[in-house]
Amino acid sequence: MTAENNPNPADPDAELRDRLADAMVSEAAFEGWSRAALQAVSRQLDLPAGEADRLFPGGAIAVLTFASERADQRTVADMEKEGVASLKIRDRIKNAVRIRLERHSGNREAARRALALLSLPFNAPLAMRLLYRTVDAMWYAAGDTSTDFNFYTKRATLAGVYSSTLLYWLNDRSPGSEATWGFLDRRIDDVMKIEKLKSQVKSWTGGSVRTASRR
């Protein structure tokens, strides 16, 4: 096993865990993120009885969590490789979302079923945690160093852009998903307009406060 195949040498099961997750992403398009899918994948990979449970003690939802976090890591790696942090802010956001969806979201039907599973009330905490990790990873790779309130507003804004674009992408059948990227452009334009307005209001308010203080 090479270092490239096993990015985590401290974990001897890393390559097998990756293979199982890859197979699960494919199988989930038919069986959903379910126990049945996990069992089918175990048979496909000729795993010993109980091996899938050892690799992912939490079952199918644990595989989904692993796949999402792995996609975040790969998105960050691609963004850093392509120097996204050096671009204008709107292009950082655009590239981050597009890389995540285009390269690391897997099969559309598997992604749709994952979203359906995460939308169940008892999975709401996990859904929020995974979404936060995704947008936080994107901002990290985009070079964000904020530590004040902007840290949270940036992540909330990107969560809205990413979530709405993901939903659009799931139903997009246009060549090369061009309709999705057009939708993404429009969403970012909306965000930039809001940010510009907020800056203007802040400057106006600040000017009023300074004027009042001189009186």
Whether residue 131 has pLDDT greater than 80: yes
In a domain, 98, yes or no: yes
In a domain, 176, yes or no: yes
pTM to 2 decimal places = 0.85
Mean pLDDT of 108-134: 97
**How many independent structural domains does the chain possess?**
1
The boundaries of the domain holding residue 65 are 14-214
In a domain, 52, yes or no: yes
Q: What is the tens place of the pLDDT at every residue in 137-193?
A: 999 999 998 888 889 999 999 999 999 999 999 999 999 999 999 999 999 998 887
In a domain, 5, yes or no: no
Q: What is the tens place of the pLDDT at every residue in 39-51?
A: 999 999 999 999 9
In a domain, 6, yes or no: no
Q: What is the tens place of the pLDDT at every residue in 77-113?
A: 999 999 999 999 899 999 999 999 999 998 999 999 9
> The CATH number of the domain where 70 resides is what?
1.10.357.10
Residues 84, 94, 171: CA angle, nearest 5 degrees: 140
The C-alpha atoms of residue 203 and residue 206 are separated, in whole angstroms, by 5
Task: Please report which confidence band the pLDDT of residue 25 belongs to, taking 50, 70 and 90 as the band edges.
Answer: very high
Tokens of 146: 């904020």
Q: Do 18 and 41 contact (CB within 8 A), yes or no?
A: no
**Amino acid 192: pLDDT:** 82
In a domain, 7, yes or no: no
In a domain, 1, yes or no: no
Task: Please report which confidence band the pLDDT of residue 205 belongs to, taking 50, 70 and 90 as the band edges.
Answer: low
CA-nearest of 102, 84, 101 to 93 is 84
Mean pLDDT of 64-68: 97
Whether residue 208 has pLDDT greater than 80: no
In a domain, 67, yes or no: yes
Q: Do 155 and 136 contact (CB within 8 A), yes or no?
A: yes
